[in-house]
Chains A and B, each alone.
Chain A
């Protein structure tokens, strides 16, 4: 007779797992093929000329192309420099919400074309390119055309939420448009020896979502399509300069060592994780504490502040014990007990009666005091009876 072995053989384990392994391989293959053919998920930035989402600016860019404007989308300073052939016939649109550009790079970029539109610059960017202009908060609602700039005049009304700017340098020759009162404007044009720099706060008209509202389309097309070429520059990670990569600094064995440590980790996990046989089931007994009902009743008394009821329970116990101590029969009334106790201890009968019967505790403090009084009474009687 041989002992039965419950551990399955490798072959039967493999057979049972085969279906799932094949299934997993098929799923992974399909996933890889799908990813390879369709490409990764589109994650485009706002105001991107290739972004068809509501926050993108594909509509404006495409219409500009149809109107004969050459729209070139760039994502790094080098690309932008290459894309601009003649600064005089080029409009540079710059939008850097991610703050990829340093101040020097920003100044370089602004100097690349004669007409430059900087969308929604923040404080630091304004300091670098237009120190005479300051941020003035968010402006909401339609803005009326109020300056002689062609694009704005044709638009009439520009809607959507925009960033407001204020000209703080009074000497600057600044063209201020789309005012919302109190010296706040959403488009500020600065002229510097023939080169125009626009600080554009009203970016909503450029988006796919709001381009068709009010005069937004006219504003966007007029502003961006004033030259033959439009370079649409959205700075990216490629602009971040780095001198030397981490890989060049580390010795050649570090990567294999990391791989080795990962393998050691896996091996150690298998070493410690392999159990020496199945777990043994232990049938645990029920644990019920016998005084649970007593404690539960105590908590109920306490929660509902049933002071008199609690005190009466204590009193019944005390009266019974006192009756037994005084040698009274079990049929004796409380008055008998009061009489016997007061004559034994010399206490006033009405006081004994108050503790044993009459007092109604109004607070927990009185309850504790009365309970102590009961104990004192019992102790007094016991002391008297002790020879």
Chain B
């Protein structure tokens, strides 16, 4: 049950006859009358308990985009329900409007649309729908909360997909599909074809040229070049650290979100290049795993797996990572560890297992760096800032030491600010592919 502002005004209006007549009994009658009106109104209000509520929610939406959720209200009662319906979503679902003015005649159904613009990744569960049904006088209302479960999966935004076309173009350059030939040690011999102007003269195959006799050319000779294509069907294993350090925010973006962006870009690129990509999100247990998917299904499964994962406030169990990689593939693979490598103490676990991984695999450690640290070393106008600059220099030194240690153990390091890391990782992948180190 609820009352409206009109009822409050009605009670307040009792002051007018009271002051005019100066008699307390008039007020008593007025109040009784208002109460009676309210009760009559309540009795005439349509029952919100006899409503059926259904939600029609799109299952998934990318972070930053909007989706329309539809609320269907069916009236099974005998009176028209007039009033307010509250479509309750968590604040981070960004629902507008949250309140609908509803009028559902008896035996009919109405639909109301709520636009959801979520501002945080993860699963958003809709709460109940509350309907407040006013009587014809709009004085008193009946109210009931109706369960209508629904959920919306908010996917990682994959903002770095804007880097994908240029990287795919670079891959095609590697591929021999275009006229520009790239020679590399590890690329596979593809075919022989006639020389055209612009080809690298180093790729001329003199033996094939000697064997070839072309009657159309005046000299009977035509140069033949070899073409290569990059290796295909290599394995890429991306291990994303969802432990304590991934919760830290840089530029108001948790490290794990940057890791997701990098992983998505790398996966899109690698699957475009014909490699097989497996993703594991891990801290002390496997939080998410995508294996054996290719093409469009890979990205779709990756975003669905990543969406609900939030960093846990526990330390990453690095000793389990080699076993994890072994469970994914028994062959040589490019293992990308998306983690944090900026303090010698915190990176001890990572450094201790790197030899096991580098013995068999090509290992790439991708770590987000904080641009504010570099800025802090440069501004030294007062005492506080000098101490801050000293601490920042110290932090940079630590980062350099960890990176050097990682390189010494045979792995490679990619670092960058949140916006730069995904393309940097993609470039490193292309470089490794061109060098045939996959």
Contact: A270 with B3, CB < 8 Å? yes
Contact: B11 with A298, CB < 8 Å? no
The 8 residue pairs across chains A and B that have the minimum distance between CB atoms: A277-B130, A310-B390, A298-B391, A290-B248, A317-B393, A256-B24, A297-B391, A298-B388
By beta carbon, the residue of chain B nearest A256 is B24
A288 at the interface (CB under 8 A from B): yes
B383 at the interface (CB under 8 A from A): yes
Contact: A310 with B14, CB < 8 Å? no
Known interface pairs A276-B130, A277-B128; A314-B91 also in contact (CB < 8 Å) = no
Contact: A257 with B15, CB < 8 Å? yes
A363-375 vs B, CB cutoff 8 Å, 1 = contact: the mask equals: 0100110011001
Contact: B397 with A280, CB < 8 Å? no
A288 vs B91: C-alpha distance when bound (angstroms): 21
A23-40 vs B, CB cutoff 8 Å, 1 = contact: the mask equals: 000000000000000000
Please give the number of chain A residues whose Cβ is less than 8 angstroms from any Cβ of chain B in the complex. Answer: 60
The residues of B that contact A316 with a CB separation of less than 8 Å are 393, 397
Please give the number of chain B residues whose Cβ is less than 8 angstroms from any Cβ of chain A in the complex. Answer: 78
One of A256, A260, A283, A314 near B11 (C-beta < 8 A): A260
B255 at the interface (CB under 8 A from A): yes
Shortest A280–chain B CB gap in Å is: 4
The stretch that binds A, out of B46-54, B226-234, B276-284, B405-413, is B46-54
A7 at the interface (CB under 8 A from B): yes
Question: Given A316-B393, A317-B393, 7 more contacts at CB 8 Å?
Answer: A257-B18, A257-B19, A293-B395, A297-B395, A314-B386, A317-B397, A368-B386
Contact: B15 with A7, CB < 8 Å? no
Contact: B249 with A288, CB < 8 Å? yes
Known interface pairs A3-B52, A253-B18, A276-B84; A287-B387 also in contact (CB < 8 Å) = no
Known interface pairs A267-B8, A313-B397, A375-B380; A276-B147 also in contact (CB < 8 Å) = no
A329 at the interface (CB under 8 A from B): no
> CB within 8 Å of A: which of B76-96?
76, 84, 86, 88-92
Shortest A306–chain B CB gap in Å is: 9
A332 at the interface (CB under 8 A from B): no
The residues of A that contact B21 with a CB separation of less than 8 Å are 253
Seen from chain A, the residues whose Cβ lies within 8 Å of a Cβ on chain B are 1-7, 10, 251-253, 255-257, 259-261, 263-264, 267-268, 270-271, 274, 276-278, 280-283, 285-295, 297-299, 301-302, 309-311, 313-314, 316-317, 364, 367-368, 371-372, 375
The residues of B that contact A268 with a CB separation of less than 8 Å are 8
A370 vs B276: C-alpha distance when bound (angstroms): 55
Contact: B145 with A290, CB < 8 Å? no
A-B contact count (CB 8 A): 188
The residues of A that contact B84 with a CB separation of less than 8 Å are 276
The residues of A that contact B103 with a CB separation of less than 8 Å are none
B150 at the interface (CB under 8 A from A): no
**A-B contacts, 11 listed (Cβ < 8 Å):** A5-B49, A7-B49, A260-B31, A274-B1, A277-B127, A277-B128, A288-B247, A302-B383, A302-B387, A310-B390, A364-B383
B324 at the interface (CB under 8 A from A): no
The residues of B that contact A255 with a CB separation of less than 8 Å are 24
B377 at the interface (CB under 8 A from A): yes
Contact: B380 with A368, CB < 8 Å? yes
The residues of A that contact B106 with a CB separation of less than 8 Å are none
One of A261, A264, A276, A302 near B86 (C-beta < 8 A): A276
Shortest A170–chain B CB gap in Å is: 67
Contact: A3 with B248, CB < 8 Å? no
Contact: B144 with A5, CB < 8 Å? yes
By beta carbon, the residue of chain A nearest B95 is A280
Contact: A264 with B8, CB < 8 Å? yes
Contact: B249 with A263, CB < 8 Å? no
The residues of B that contact A283 with a CB separation of less than 8 Å are 90, 122
Contact: A286 with B313, CB < 8 Å? yes
Contact: B144 with A293, CB < 8 Å? no
B215 at the interface (CB under 8 A from A): no
A294 vs B313: C-alpha distance when bound (angstroms): 20
By beta carbon, the residue of chain A nearest B10 is A267
Shortest A10–chain B CB gap in Å is: 8
One of B23, B24, B145, B247 near A7 (C-beta < 8 A): B145
Contact: A252 with B22, CB < 8 Å? yes
B316-331 vs A, CB cutoff 8 Å, 1 = contact: the mask equals: 0000000000000000
Shortest A73–chain B CB gap in Å is: 41
B116-158 vs A, CB cutoff 8 Å, 1 = contact: the mask equals: 0000101000011110100000000001111110000000000
The residues of A that contact B91 with a CB separation of less than 8 Å are 280, 282
Contact: B370 with A280, CB < 8 Å? no
Shortest A373–chain B CB gap in Å is: 11
A316 vs B400: C-alpha distance when bound (angstroms): 12
A2 vs B146: C-alpha distance when bound (angstroms): 10
Contact: B393 with A313, CB < 8 Å? yes
The residues of A that contact B14 with a CB separation of less than 8 Å are 260
A1 vs B88: C-alpha distance when bound (angstroms): 22
A267 vs B4: C-alpha distance when bound (angstroms): 9
Contact: A276 with B8, CB < 8 Å? no
Known interface pairs A252-B23, A301-B391, A372-B380; A281-B18 also in contact (CB < 8 Å) = no
One of B147, B343, B386 near A367 (C-beta < 8 A): B386
B53-88 vs A, CB cutoff 8 Å, 1 = contact: the mask equals: 110000000000000000000001000000010101
Contact: A313 with B88, CB < 8 Å? no
